Amino acid sequence: MALLSRFIVAAFALAATVQGAPQELGQPGQPSSDPCARIGGKKWVAPSEVRACFTSVRVNETVKANILDVINKTLNFHTSTNYQIRAPQPFTSDVRVNLPTELERIKRQFYRSEYDFHVDLSRTLKRTNDGHAAWTFACYDSLFVNYVPTPLSLLTSPNGTQNVHISPEAFNVSSAEFPDQMDVWQNALPGRLNGQLETVGVDVLYGKPANTLTQI
């Protein structure tokens, strides 16, 4: 799957309002040292450049304390907090999380960036596996979106064998939806596949063409 990750590129321009990082715009004609200024206004950027921007914003302790205070108070209205602390078998590993203790940990913990703080909060609340307890932060979530032009599907051969394939329709769908972006994906493919995205609709495990198979 290393090949696939090469052409997963993020889309959607960084909103002009995303500041927060110190604005060092550099000299005219010089590349900016601010990783957010580097990707600002661009439609397609590498995931590593998005991460560099996101992780450049330092934690503001006042904001961090406020976020934890609001979550802490909101959890008082969340009926499952106590259940989630003491969830019995067989749920001990699925929903068992002590959110008050976790919030105390997060309060004490040092984070290199606000993004790291955000990710910890998000993952900690997700451990409840509870659709009513979630943390999102619009400065980061969905600001950039990954599109994979090679979605996978399980296909069945006439003899009943099933295998994972790159969906045969993927090229057609991507071409119809993103006609002005196909070159970005095509040119990201390595070696003889370069510019040949249409040819990758194959069995990803055994390299067999998918055109004789039916989708389930």
Closest CB to ligand NAG among residues 72, 113: 72
CA 143 to chain centre: 10
Burial class (CB in 10 A: 0-12, 13-18, 19+), 142: exposed
Whose Cβ is closer to ligand NAG: residue 32's or residue 157's? 157
Least separation in angstroms between residue 156's CB and ligand NAG is 9
Nearest alpha carbon to residue 24 among 14, 36, 16: 36
Nearer to ligand NAG, 76 or 142 (CB): 76
Nearest distance from C-beta of residue 160 to ligand NAG, angstroms: 7
Q: And the tokens for 94?
A: 């699925």
Tell which residue, 104, 29, 38, has the closest CA to residue 71: 104
Q: Closest approach of Cβ 47 to ligand NAG, in Å?
A: 27
Q: Rounded to the nearest whole angstrom, what is the least distance from the CB of residue 2 to ligand NAG in the complex?
A: 24
Rg (CA), the chain: 22
Residue with Cβ nearer ligand NAG (62 or 142): 62
> Minimum distance from CB of 174 to ligand NAG (Å)?
11
175 Cβ contact list (under 8 Å, min separation 6): 182
Q: Which residues bind ligand NAG (CB under 6 A)?
A: 60, 62-63, 68, 72, 103-104, 107, 157, 159, 161, 168-169, 172, 208
Helix (H) or strand (E) holding 34: none
Beta carbons of 137 and 143 less than 8 angstroms apart? no
